[in-house]
Every structure is written in C-alpha cells, then in structure tokens.
Structure 1
Amino acid sequence: MEAGIVGLPNVGKSTLFNALTAAGIASENYPFCTIEPNVGAVAVPDPRLETIQSYIATQKVIPAVLKLVDIAGIVRGASEGEGLGNQFLSHIRNVDAITHVVRCFEDPDITHVEGSVDPIRDIETIDTELMLADLQSVESQVVKAKKTARTGDKEAARKLEILAACEQRLAAGEPVRGLSYDDPGAAKALRELQLLTSKRVLYIANIDEDDLAGTGEHVTRVRERAAAEGGEVVAVCARLESELAELDSEDRAEMLQSVGLEEPALAVLARAIYKLLGYQSYFTAGEKEVRAWPVAIGATAPQAAGVIHTDFERGFIRAEVYALDDLVEHKSEKAIRDAGKLRVEGKEYRMRDGDICHFLFNV
C-alpha cells in the first residue's frame, strides 16, 4: 500500500517529499531513498524498536517502511487536462490514500499560484478537481452498468445503486469518502469504483518557522476543516525539516533542542501516514535483527506471517507471541516463557499492534 502526496504548486510538497525520503531521517541500518523519480521509501520511526534491542542483543534494527508517491502538482482545470492534470489524476488513482499539503505560511518570495495564501480555498480547489473527475468516471460507469443490468445481473444492479449514491454526493459538492456501507459486498463494490474522492485524506499544514506549534490562523482553519470531515492534520515546517534531514544525528538533536522539538515533525507525519493507510506494526527479534513489520489492522496471524514470506502464510502452524511490557518486566524471552507469559496463537488470532512474534510453519 502507498500514499500519494498532493498539493498546489509552491506549497512545499516536493520539499516535504525529499525530506521524508532523505537518508538522514532514517535508521543508519536501512537504506531509505527515492525508488523512482517520484516514489520514495519512508521509515516509520518507532521507539519500541530501541526498547526491544536493549533486551535482545542484535546486529541491526530495521523499522517498518511505507511508500510515498510525489504526485504532479495540480492547477484549476486539471480534471479537463490543464497543466499536468492527466498525469496527476492517473497517479492519484493508483495510491491507497492521499496526503494533502496545504500552504499555511506567508512568504513574499514564494509566489502562490492563486496570488494569496488561503488554505481552505486551496483544499477546495483540489477537492473540486477530484470531484469533477469522479463525476466523469461515474457517468461513464453508469452507462456500462445499465447495459449489464438489463440482462438481469444482480451485481450490476447493485453497482448502479452505489453509483447513483456517489453521483448524488458529488453533484452536491461532497467527496465520496463520506459514503459508507455496512454490507461488505457493497463496501467492496464501492472500493472497486476507484473514485479519487473515496480515498482517505491526511492534511499536512506546511507552517512557518515562527509557528512550529501549529497554532496560527491558517492552521487553525485547516484543523477545523479536517475535524468536520473526521480527518486529521499534521503541522510541519518543510523548510526546517529539510534542513534537519541533512544533518547527522548529533547535530540534528542539537538543532531540535534549539527550536524546542523532541523529534522531527516528519517522524510524527510518517506515523500518521502509516495509520492513514490502515497499518499497525508487529515485531520479530533475534540475533541478526530486530524488525518492525507492517500489517493491516485486523490481519490474522497467518496473514502477518505472510508479510515476511508467502511460505510462512501457506504453511502456518502457530505463532508464539508476547508483549513489549512482558519483555520489559522479565528482561528476556526465556524468562517470559518460564513465567508462562508466552502465548501460543493459532490461525484465527487477530494481530495486535506491538506484538512480538515467532512464527512456526511447515511447507
């Protein structure tokens, strides 16, 4: 799964993308960099890894990784092919969630494409273009579904009902992500429409260095907008984060202290994107490495094992699981086992965030 980073021109989108994928922000034991010109691998900082390593001696620590796509900037008329509109829309259709960078800083040296800074107007510009593109897609899919429905196809009939609900929302200026179904079949059919505004959104408020707490008027307006949508906001100063990403760990810590931050805002952002994609982490720990593995929230133990290797899922027998608190209390895996705190879980077990696991399999 991957998230796309979007925004109007000159909002700091590419600066943030480059900082997120810079090697300096990542673990020294794992190479993070740009995979393709617009695709990056991003570390998800997790202090639990260091805690595990303090009890289980290992050669390296590897955090979980997520993919981030820097999508071409959008301008008014993108849904009609203006600017790089077609490229923008095709790339955003392929990602699983959207991180929307919104300019919340004033700088006379950086021209805003609309002539002034207004984050809500900017959000509405991109939302409008996505909704217009979705309307075109819905109209096209309605024509095809009607032909199939005439044959008595029940799935096509249900699809028509869902398309009608989507069209009603879009015509009212509301994104499709506000539409939900309790019925798993209908929810699946909605996802299969691949509508742009059905994707989850995280707003990234690009703030000024004078407002690192993100309490300024522009950010406040974005927070209010996100709250009304049931979404979230992460405030980041792209300029500062870009500088931090280029420093070694010692200089970075000194600079963070000087500006009153405990960690780079990009660390907070990476974890927020991870959550946006519906991920949680479980850990494996041994002599070679302590590693965080991304797994979908609600995944079963065999599915989690399959993240490591498909053979682990195919031949899954059981999982041996314990919690980080158990490790802190008992100091070693052997002591956890001796205390009867090592749980044996089967195929139906739903993974919990922070589980430390050993998988047994046979193929």
Structure 2
Amino acid sequence: MERFGFVGLPNAGKSSLYNALAGGGALAAPYAFATTDPNVGVAKVFDGRLDALAAMSASKNVVPASVQFTDIGGLVEGASKGEGLGNRFLAGIREVDAVVYVLRAFADADVPGPTDPLEHLRVLEIELTLADLETVENQVDKRRKAAKGDKSLLDEVAALEAAQVALAEGTPIYRSDLAPKVRELLGPYFLLTNKPVLAIVNVDEDSIERVDEVVAPVQAELGDRAEVIGACIQLEAEAAQLDPDERREMLDGLGLGEGALPRFVRAAYHQLGLRTFFTTGEKETRAWTFRAGSKAPQAAGRIHTDFERGFIRAEVIHWDELLELGSWAKAREVGKLRVEGKDYEVQDGDVLEIRFNV
C-alpha cells in the first residue's frame, strides 16, 4: 500500500490531520514533539463512482481503495544537523512514497511558532534540502570511483552531480528542472525532496470563508510543482468523529460541501500516479488501485497474482456508461462490453471482468 508522510513544524496540525483521516488515535497537543514515534493509519479514498456502481448492483459489500499515511514528529530548524528529533524524523520521511507538507496559517496564543504558511514552507524545504545535499555529497565521490571500473554507472553519477548542483543552490529536487529520467536514477538514494509533494494549508474556523485568499501565496510559490489544498483541519477532525449523516449536516451547514478531506485524499492518491478500476456485482463492488499506464494483466494482478499469470482477456466498460445502461447484463445484451487483450492500457474509471486460466 502506498504511503504518505505528514511533514510540518511542531503544532502545524499533523496529528489533527491524522485524527481526521483515521478517526482518532494520535495525541494532538499544543507543545513541540507531542508525536515522537510515527503514527500509521489507513484512509479510504472517497469515490462517488464506487457508491453509484454499488447501488446499481445492489452489492452486499462495498470496498473502497485506500492509502496508508504516517504522522511524523514535528520538524524544526536545524533538524538536518540533529536538532529536535533530528535523524529520527528524517528517517521517517525516507520511508514514505510521497510527502504532505502541513503548513500552519492561524494564530493561537496557546500554540507557539510562526503563523505564516510560507515561513513553514521555507523551514521545511531548507532542512530537507540540506539533508539531501549531505546524502548526495557522501555518495557522489564513491560512485565516481565505482564508475571508473563500470561505465554503466556514468548516468547515475551524472544524475548525482546534477542533484548536487540544484541542492547546493537551495532548490529541492521536486522543484528543480531535473528531467524525470534523472530523478528516476536518483531513486535508490531515497532523497527526501525527490518525492511527490502535496501541501495542505491549515486555517482556523474564522478563515474558512477566505481560504482561497490564504492559500493563494502558497499556490503561487509552488506553482505546478505541488498541489495545494486549504482546510480547517481541527474542524475536519471534529466532523470525522460524527456519523455520516451528522457529518454531512455539519459540513453543509458551514458551506463546506463534502469537506476538504475527500479532496485531499483524492489529490494525494493521484499525486502518486495512482488510478482506480472497479469490479461490481451483487456480492461485492470494489475499487482497485493501479499505476497509471498499467496494461490489463498488471491491473488484473492487483486482484490476484493468478489473474495476471493466467490472463486471457478482460471485458471492459467505463463506469458512467455502465451506470447509464443500468446493469452488466444489459451492457452485454446491447454489445457495449469491449473485449480487450494483454496490450490494453487500463483507464481510470474502467469496470473490468477478467478472464483467466492457470
């Protein structure tokens, strides 16, 4: 399961975000390092398509896609040199697939620290960039020596050298102009700033109506390098404790619609290049996660390895077309089911029925 790590200064709202997604379990306290060991939870990926298909099929069981998330302890200025939780903190980030910056944008007399989300972003990026620079500097000479006897390592050395230049200039890898192939060559070094990034700007309840205004400077700073979402995390955490009807009523009453959490999880999910296909029937409707660009056998393997090993073909229809027709049987009757082979690239929103033989 893909993992997202919440990164932020102390008291930025990471533990509250964890609680909002997991329904509680993490200590959220107004002092630094309330979280010393990472909390790990699982969030469902909210998807209206799944519910619509389940209703159509009158499914007894409905299983959404999910992602794992980790609430990592607060980072402080100097973390790259061992301040605060230091290396313990940085090790927690290395283990995740994508990073979520939690940026505080509210004032509270009981909560110390800056209230400007851009200042939070500055500190986070400086510390992660410095840690990556140290990693690259420790590796580049070793790889240069190794490349003298193994020319296949030259591209990797060039990638490390390019990363060293960017990092020395204070530019995180994800904000650099390094080509995707170069970034891929850096993969084995688990650089902290070479991961996909999402930013969530945490506002207070009084700022909900002008959340776009608060978020705008962060969006302008990050441009197309990261997706930015604004939310009152404390409010979302409180709403998450309610049953679905009460939660909907609370969020509607505040003019928040479905709330920020479904948007956040969907954005995080897509940031990793994850997509969803569905299977549906009376017994179960389920959302399955696959990587964008996967061929039909690889997607089928997400259901069971036998499905990939013995893949013959897949019957395919897009979810909205199936919904319009009203049933799988009707889609087959009117000839709307496509038969696709091993070279078919599965699309987000496809509904599949796999034929296999082992």
Q: Is TM > 0.5 for Structure 1 vs Structure 2?
A: yes
Note if contact 2:163-2:173 (Cα within 8 Å) is conserved in structure 1.
yes
In structure 1, what is the Cα distance between the partners aligned to 2:292 and 2:235? Answer: 33
Note if contact 1:55-1:327 (Cα within 8 Å) is conserved in structure 2.
no
CA apart distance, 1:83: 1.3
In structure 2, what is the Cα distance between the partners aligned to 1:211 and 1:301? Answer: 46
Residue from 264, 277, 280 that aligns with 1:282: 277
In structure 1, what is the Cα distance between the partners aligned to 2:344 and 2:262? Answer: 30
In structure 1, what is the Cα distance between the partners aligned to 2:108 and 2:216? Answer: 19
Residue from 114, 120, 123 that aligns with 2:121: 123
Note if contact 1:44-1:267 (Cα within 8 Å) is conserved in structure 2.
yes
Alignment of 1:227-306 (within 5 A): 227=223, 229-306=224-301
Q: Alignment partner of 1:210: what SS?
A: helix
In structure 1, what is the Cα distance between the partners aligned to 2:279 and 2:209? Answer: 35
Alignment of 1:63-78 (within 5 A): 63-78=64-79
In structure 2, what is the Cα distance between the partners aligned to 1:226 and 1:232? Answer: 8
Q: Alignment partner of 1:101: what SS?
A: strand
Amino acid at match of 1:220: A
In structure 2, what is the Cα distance between the partners aligned to 1:188 and 1:215? Answer: 35
In structure 1, what is the Cα distance between the partners aligned to 2:342 and 2:287? Answer: 21
In structure 2, what is the Cα distance between the partners aligned to 1:194 and 1:237? Answer: 32
**Structure 2 length-normalised TM:** 0.92
CA apart distance, 1:180: 3.5
In structure 2, what is the Cα distance between the partners aligned to 1:13 and 1:72? Answer: 8
In structure 2, what is the Cα distance between the partners aligned to 1:39 and 1:362? Answer: 38
Residue from 148, 154, 158 that aligns with 2:155: 158
Note if contact 1:6-1:73 (Cα within 8 Å) is conserved in structure 2.
yes
Name the residue aligned to 1:142: 140
Show CA shifts across 1:112-133 (max 9, x none). Answer: 2xxx312112111111111111
Residue from 164, 171, 176 that aligns with 1:174: 171
Amino acid at match of 2:216: T
CA apart distance, 1:163: 0.9
CA apart distance, 1:335: 1.0
CA apart distance, 1:260: 0.8
In structure 1, what is the Cα distance between the partners aligned to 2:109 and 2:188? Answer: 44
Moved more, 191-200 or 277-286: 191-200
**Structure 1 length-normalised TM:** 0.91
Taking every aligned residue pair, what percent have the same amino acid on both sides?
Answer: 47
Note if contact 1:214-1:235 (Cα within 8 Å) is conserved in structure 2.
no
Q: Alignment partner of 1:234: what SS?
A: strand
CA apart distance, 1:329: 2.3
1:328 and 2:328 aligned: no
1:308 and 2:303 aligned: yes
1:210 and 2:206 aligned: yes
CA apart distance, 1:12: 0.7
Q: CA RMSD in A?
A: 1.8
Structure 2 residue runs of 5 or longer lacking an equivalent are 25-36
In structure 2, what is the Cα distance between the partners aligned to 1:105 and 1:220? Answer: 15
Amino acid at match of 2:81: E
CA apart distance, 1:54: 2.3
1:198 and 2:194 aligned: yes
Name the residue aligned to 2:31: none
Amino acid at match of 2:250: M
Amino acid at match of 2:229: V
In structure 1, what is the Cα distance between the partners aligned to 2:273 and 2:193? Answer: 17
CA apart distance, 1:261: 1.7
Note if contact 1:280-1:294 (Cα within 8 Å) is conserved in structure 2.
yes
Note if contact 2:215-2:229 (Cα within 8 Å) is conserved in structure 1.
no
In structure 1, what is the Cα distance between the partners aligned to 2:80 and 2:72? Answer: 15
CA apart distance, 1:271: 0.6
Note if contact 1:321-1:342 (Cα within 8 Å) is conserved in structure 2.
yes
Note if contact 2:183-2:194 (Cα within 8 Å) is conserved in structure 1.
no
In structure 2, what is the Cα distance between the partners aligned to 1:68 and 1:21? Answer: 9
Name the residue aligned to 1:133: 131
Q: Alignment partner of 1:42: what SS?
A: strand
Show CA shifts across 1:194-230 (max 9, x none). Answer: 2111111111000111222453654221121122x53
Aligned length: 345
Note if contact 1:322-1:343 (Cα within 8 Å) is conserved in structure 2.
yes
Note if contact 1:241-1:266 (Cα within 8 Å) is conserved in structure 2.
yes
Show CA shifts across 1:69-116 (max 9, x none). Answer: 11121111111111112111111111111110000112222222xxx3
Amino acid at match of 1:226: L
Amino acid at match of 1:157: L
In structure 2, what is the Cα distance between the partners aligned to 1:176 and 1:156? Answer: 20
In structure 2, what is the Cα distance between the partners aligned to 1:218 and 1:264? Answer: 17
CA apart distance, 1:344: 0.8
CA apart distance, 1:48: 0.6
Amino acid at match of 1:318: R
